[in-house]
Structure 1
Amino acid sequence: MRDRHSATEAHPLGPAERRVVERAETEGIELVRFLYVDHGGVIRGKATSRFRLSERLDSGIGHTVAMMAMNMLDQLQEVEHLGPVGEVRIVPDATTFVPLPYAPGAAAMLADLRQIDGSPWPACPRTFLREAIAALAEEGHAAVAAFEPEFTLGRRMPDPAGGLDRLVPADDSLCYATTGFDQAHDYTMHLIRALETQGLRVEHYHPELGHGQQELSIRHAPAMRAADNHVIYRETVRGVASRMSMWASLAPKPLADQAGNGAHLHLSLWDPELRTNSFGDAEGRYGLSTTAYRFIGGLIAHLPALTALTCGSVNSFRRLAPRMWSSAYACYGMDNREAAVRICSPLSRNAEAAANLEIKPSDSSANPYLSLGAVIHAGLDGIRRELDPGEAVNVDPATLPEGTVPRLPATLDEALDALEADDVLMRALGPLRSSAYLAVKRSEARAFAAEDDSYELFHHFRVF
């Protein structure tokens, strides 16, 4: 029987798709992965053979709708319209094609989840970010962003006592110490080459505070590309480690007694042509414009709910505690690393162009499309309503009298309660996406509450 999406029925390929097919042929690519991120924050996908690539660039690959109701433990949740009946298509974005240096013969593309007729599907995370970008464009702005991830490098080892596997860090180096550079050198060089081969420009690298902890940041990009880059980054960090018989985890807190792994989100708004930074104002307080302060006002107003999307796991809340430099307080400040929103002092001589905000309650267990999209919607609400963020907090909030600065949610359940009560973000997410996300995350909170700490740590370092 002929496939209903046969080559004769397919639409003619565009220039980007033709380049993908040509590259696959000339570079010996046998499998191409179509990747998406689910509501559990897990990167999933399917792969097409080179033989079917030209067809699948048009038709996508068939996929059950139920996968967007799957949590990070592969436990399927009951969500209306996300059960055994129904199908979507994993449709790749040809402009994101990258050969995978850590998987010879394979390549990947980031994908949308679309309905069978090709229209956007209301549970597609990439579509959510695209809608946020479009809403921002209506106000005359474009977002430029970068995630700043940390991860723990080590080896997955059996527990001598017969329990679940443990993550044993690759070193016990001190923070920024040169011994950390040396001990992770071979891995780091492989990682940098792999990232740059895929078009990700490496900016900075250093060994961080935790044992085996690394921080390697990449160049900012327009919002969609920034989220795509973070998916490629996550895949590459772990793929390179696997090829070297190591294990890398971007989980927020893979080791209970060590510093956690964030993925701080840096963001600025620009004009649609990306020529002028809308956040910069040389005459403004801390070099920021009125637009920037209104955006901060939106972030502060929605931070409790935002946390459910930017810190998307039970494990996230192990690191969101006072005096852990991970932002446990709903405030902003100039270079204040204990505030949820940090105004970054410029590294460039052109301070106006370099103006940006760092959203600190953010990690790699989050779906980056939902995370960045929600941040944009929150900030946009601040711009539209001209919200005043109040005074900057330029001391450690933990030193102030209790109640002076609101605490962020202390658990995933608290964050989900805040999200469910946030009309702006719930409306932006839409009924299907919001109900699925809440169901998936509530189920994770219940599952881990029923187990001990070792169960939580194992499943997070294994998955993220």
Structure 2
Amino acid sequence: MTDRHSVTKIHQPDPHVRRILERAELEGIELIRFLYADHGGVIRGKAASRSRLAERLGTGIGHTVAMMAMNMLDQLQEVEQLGPVGEVRLVPDPSTFVPLPYAPGAAAMLSDLRLPDGSPWAACPRTFLKDAVAALDDLDYTLVAAFEPEFTLGRRLPDPSGGPDRLVPLDDSLCYAGLGFDTAHDYTIKLVRALETQGLHVEHYHPELGPGQQELSVRHAPALRAADNHVLYRETVRGVALRMAMWASLAPKPLADQAGNGAHLHLSLWQDSRNLFAGDSDVRGWFIGGLLAHLPALTALTCGSVNSFRRLAPRMWSSAYAVYGPDNREAAVRICSALGESGEPNLELKPSDSSANPYLSLGAVIHAGLDGIRRKLDPGDPVTVDPDTDPGRFPRLPSSLGEALDALEADEVLMAALGPLRARAYLAVKRSEAAAFQGHDAAFETFHHLRTF
């Protein structure tokens, strides 16, 4: 959709604007992508030309409301208020401007979906996370977070038998093996440099368990920045691979019979420069209690695809039980030990992957944790064994997207936080995905997820 008529200008004086315009001119940036994540977890957007950038920083770019009713298969769902009539604006956040090292001549900004008059739109995922952060602010809390993603690196090749394309991993090296470092070295160095150039500071990297599987983590940040970082991370992982004639997939299970790709979510809660998750604090316990109480519903947002539930199985180190424990990597919530004298303890939510919309995922986690704090929910005793050694004793996570969506629809706290339009749209989009993959084989499922995420 092009903008041929005047629109209400969304006037927000910003110190970043002049710098952006100067950088675009000096660095030869021709197209600036305004990116957002939709209800299907897909990163989408439109791009403004440099010649129109000054205007678009104020007005945004016009966008049909219907796109928030599109699923990951590009099938438009019938959702009230998200049809052919209606317009929102893709309005970029100037503070997120980054040139894209893997796409010379292009830059990107993370964007909000706003109404034409500039006011927040009830189906904007980034606004959902902003509202959750505001709820933290009301209690003088600050949440610091980081996603810890895994992905599979290889090449996308035609199936010899005529089926969907398949991902052929770059190597078959062993977990953490030196050979894995060497095989992926050229790609990894380009990826690290591209991330650092965009302000995503790399923490650590290693070849993971599955063939071609990589894990590279970036430093934690305040909640909104952490979600923005994950969008840029996903785009960069795939963009660098494409420029090297490779294919990278962050899908939960791009190879049905191999290790899955998580995006574990690390969290710490702060007040007056104090980490409230340090020690055996009541606040940490209540926050965990909130996560566990809402975990079946949360899973619909943190593991938001059909493919996610191939990964969430017992004894896969991905969590299949709604339990917590200290450094227990089979628990849904792990209490992570501090690293070194200057390290800070944090919580790790393991049922989390990159098919989720990071704004909805992290926002929902915040609302669940706050509910635990407000109600002082007791998380019960920590679990210090693999819960699958006594499976009848511990509650299982949902085993399918449909089951998780049922739990979400029944969760009054999370449904109220989402709001009527966003909840209605999300459920419609995700139920359509569950129905679309039903009856198809694993090759069909893995293809559509590896090409999308």
Question: TM-score when scaled to structure 1?
Answer: 0.96
Deviation string for 1:298-335 (max 9, x for gaps)? 00000000000000000000010000000000000000
The answer for the alignment partner of 2:311 in structure 1 is 319
The partner residue of 1:307 within 286, 299, 314 is 299
Contact 2:326 2:384 in 1 (8 A): yes
* Alignment map for 1:3-14 (pairs within 5 Å): 3-5=5-7, 11=11, 13-14=13-14
Contact 1:152 1:250 in 2 (8 A): yes
Is 1:452 aligned with 2:424? no
Contact 1:152 1:261 in 2 (8 A): yes
C-alpha distance in 1 between matches for 2:10 and 2:18:
13
My pick for the range that moved more, 375-384 or 20-29, is 20-29
CA offset at residue 5 of structure 1? 4.3
Contact 1:288 1:355 in 2 (8 A): no
The answer for the alignment partner of 2:423 in structure 1 is 434
Contact 1:200 1:219 in 2 (8 A): yes
Residues 171 and 116 (structure 1), Cα distance of their counterparts in 2 relative to 1, 3 Å cut = same
SS in 2 for 1:373: helix
SS in 1 for 2:160: coil
CA offset at residue 288 of structure 1? 3.1
Deviation string for 1:390-445 (max 9, x for gaps)? 00000000001x32110000000000000000000000000000000000000000
Q: Which amino acid aligns with 2:287?
A: F
SS in 1 for 2:161: coil
Is 1:410 aligned with 2:393? no
Q: Which amino acid aligns with 1:330?
A: A
* Alignment map for 1:66-145 (pairs within 5 Å): 66-145=66-145
Contact 1:114 1:124 in 2 (8 A): yes
SS in 1 for 2:406: helix
C-alpha distance in 2 between matches for 1:151 and 1:388:
35
CA offset at residue 121 of structure 1? 0.2
SS in 1 for 2:120: coil
The answer for the alignment partner of 1:372 in structure 2 is 362
CA offset at residue 137 of structure 1? 1.2
* Alignment map for 1:116-195 (pairs within 5 Å): 116-195=116-195
Q: Which amino acid aligns with 2:370?
A: L
Contact 1:10 1:55 in 2 (8 A): no
SS in 2 for 1:444: helix
Query: Structure 1: which 5+ residue stretches go unaligned?
Result: 281-286
Deviation string for 1:23-53 (max 9, x for gaps)? 1111111000000000000000000000000
Q: Which amino acid aligns with 2:6?
A: R
Deviation string for 1:81-123 (max 9, x for gaps)? 0000000000000000000001000000000000011000000
Contact 2:324 2:382 in 1 (8 A): yes
The answer for the alignment partner of 2:321 in structure 1 is 329
Deviation string for 1:372-407 (max 9, x for gaps)? 00000000000000000000000000001x321100
Contact 1:143 1:267 in 2 (8 A): yes
Contact 1:146 1:218 in 2 (8 A): yes
**Runs of 4+, deviation exceeding 3 Å:** 9-13
C-alpha distance in 2 between matches for 1:268 and 1:258:
31
C-alpha distance in 2 between matches for 1:14 and 1:205:
36
CA offset at residue 450 of structure 1? 2.9
SS in 2 for 1:307: helix
C-alpha distance in 2 between matches for 1:361 and 1:460:
17
The answer for the alignment partner of 1:349 in structure 2 is 341
C-alpha distance in 2 between matches for 1:383 and 1:220:
23
CA offset at residue 3 of structure 1? 4.0
Contact 1:98 1:107 in 2 (8 A): yes
SS in 2 for 1:120: coil
C-alpha distance in 2 between matches for 1:348 and 1:301:
32
Contact 2:331 2:350 in 1 (8 A): yes
Deviation string for 1:120-150 (max 9, x for gaps)? 0000000000000001111220100000000
Contact 1:5 1:55 in 2 (8 A): no
SS in 2 for 1:436: helix
C-alpha distance in 1 between matches for 2:124 and 2:345:
31
Residues 288 and 451 (structure 1), Cα distance of their counterparts in 2 relative to 1, 3 Å cut = same
SS in 2 for 1:456: helix
- Root-mean-square deviation (Å): 1.2
C-alpha distance in 2 between matches for 1:356 and 1:144:
9
Contact 2:10 2:117 in 1 (8 A): no
C-alpha distance in 2 between matches for 1:31 and 1:2:
19
Number of paired residues?
451
The answer for the alignment partner of 1:283 in structure 2 is none
C-alpha distance in 1 between matches for 2:156 and 2:251:
14
SS in 1 for 2:118: coil
Q: Which amino acid aligns with 1:4?
A: S
C-alpha distance in 2 between matches for 1:288 and 1:263:
26
The answer for the alignment partner of 2:47 in structure 1 is 47
Q: Which amino acid aligns with 1:315?
A: N
CA offset at residue 279 of structure 1? 1.3
SS in 2 for 1:40: coil
Contact 2:203 2:216 in 1 (8 A): yes
My pick for the range that moved more, 14-23 or 49-58, is 14-23
C-alpha distance in 2 between matches for 1:255 and 1:429:
33
Residues 10 and 459 (structure 1), Cα distance of their counterparts in 2 relative to 1, 3 Å cut = closer
The answer for the alignment partner of 2:413 in structure 1 is 424
The answer for the alignment partner of 2:388 in structure 1 is 398
C-alpha distance in 1 between matches for 2:78 and 2:280:
46
The partner residue of 2:351 within 345, 356, 361 is 361
C-alpha distance in 2 between matches for 1:279 and 1:186:
39
C-alpha distance in 2 between matches for 1:403 and 1:52:
61
SS in 1 for 2:253: coil
* Alignment map for 1:247-266 (pairs within 5 Å): 247-266=247-266
CA offset at residue 2 of structure 1? 7.0
